[in-house]
Homo-oligomer: A and B are copies of this chain.
């Protein structure tokens, strides 16, 4: 398959996908990017049925262009009381310091995997693109989303994961370089030592599969897009560069962190959800991690840290907040998402090296 066909495949004008970023954006961002000719994304894993319907209604009202809805495809863990107790023990000194109460720990997992129930909710909206993180849901669910014409994409963090996805018939693969912010998509291994920088990952995945490959991780501006194209990408997925846009719901504390010198210091941490994700190093990561063997399995780590995060944030502190960011925040600007999209796409046009290949 020609790598020049991503825009045709997805029905978009510009080969720029706005990365789904739960907690940082909802429909407004997706609408702005899709209207600009890229592919806007709605992160759905943290939305309940009503919120999901509301956001999808807003997108359908806001744009007639294609958009993407993103889900996690994890296996929900069996809750482990001993591990949960150990996690609460580790957090207790901070509860005392911030005056938080374990009575405020929310119930439920907080994030749900894609399921038949979720498919029931979204089917009426017929999202044109569905992206998954942490692999794929089962074949019956894939068949169902394809039944309304949705294209299916997912992230690979290794060549082996890319081959696994290609064998299961995905329409395109996101090569998620180690540089990327937020959750690592790894699913065939849980060893973060297996994770690969985009310069090495992208060309090897391009060579290993026959579907279009979307480059992600560390791409911040037109030059990054040109470089990704030179390495064989069919398009790019960019998150961090959008985080200061007016359409983002990024908190004031998170925005301040992104603008700070400290934003140069990111690390992979499992403290906030149970799975490794890249964020700006803060006190929790320094003192408890960044990787902790005590944190419960994804997504159960989130619950016990929530009251602490709330109290700290109320006191003006981001010490216990997930400050997701990639390794290149240099292009974060307070400009509309449409402008970020167009500026990125300019890098595609600037480098015709691989056109038609």
Contacts and interface: CB of A to CB of B under 8 A. Distances in A.
Interface in A323-357: 326-328, 330, 347, 350-351, 353-354
A328 B232 CA distance: 15
A219 B290 CA distance: 29
B230 A203 contact: no
Interface string A216-230: 011111011011101
**Most chain-B Cβ atoms within 10 A of its Cβ — which of A219, A227, A350?**
A227
A218 B199 contact: yes
A158 B223 CA distance: 19
Task: Work out how many copies of this chain go into the complex.
Answer: 2
Contacts of A326: 200
Contacts of A160: 264
Contacts of A158: 264
Interface in A154-169: 158-160
A251 interface: no
A158 B351 CA distance: 27
A351 B347 CA distance: 13
A200 B327 contact: yes
A204 B193 CA distance: 24
Contact of A199 (B194, B198, B232): B198
Given A159-B264, A264-B158, A327 B227 contact: no
Contacts of A268: 193
A178 interface: yes
A214 interface: no
A207 interface: yes
A203 B330 contact: yes
Interface in A258-290: 264-265, 267-268, 290
Interface string A130-144: 000000000000000
Nearest to A331: B203
A183 to B, nearest CB: 16
A11 interface: no
A199 B230 contact: no
Contact of A227 (B193, B196, B230, B290): B230
6 tightest A-B CB contacts, nearest first: A197-B197, A200-B218, A199-B218, A200-B327, A200-B328, A227-B227
Question: Interface extent on A, as a size class?
Answer: 35 or more
Residue among A203, A230, A330 facing the most chain B CB atoms (10 A cut-off):
A230
B223 A230 contact: yes
Contacts of A350: 353
Given A193-B268, A196-B327, A218-B197, A203 B226 contact: no
Given A264-B158, A264-B159, A328-B204, A197 B177 contact: yes
A204 B353 contact: no
B203 A178 contact: no
Contacts of A226: 227, 230, 353
A179 interface: yes
A28 interface: no
Nearest to A347: B230
A231 interface: yes
A269 B353 CA distance: 37
A201 interface: yes
Contacts of A203: 220-221, 223-224, 328, 330
Contact of A179 (B197, B232, B327): B197
17 contacts: A177-B199, A178-B197, A179-B196, A193-B268, A193-B290, A197-B218, A198-B198, A199-B219, A200-B217, A200-B327, A203-B224, A204-B264, A226-B230, A227-B230, A230-B230, A230-B347, A351-B351
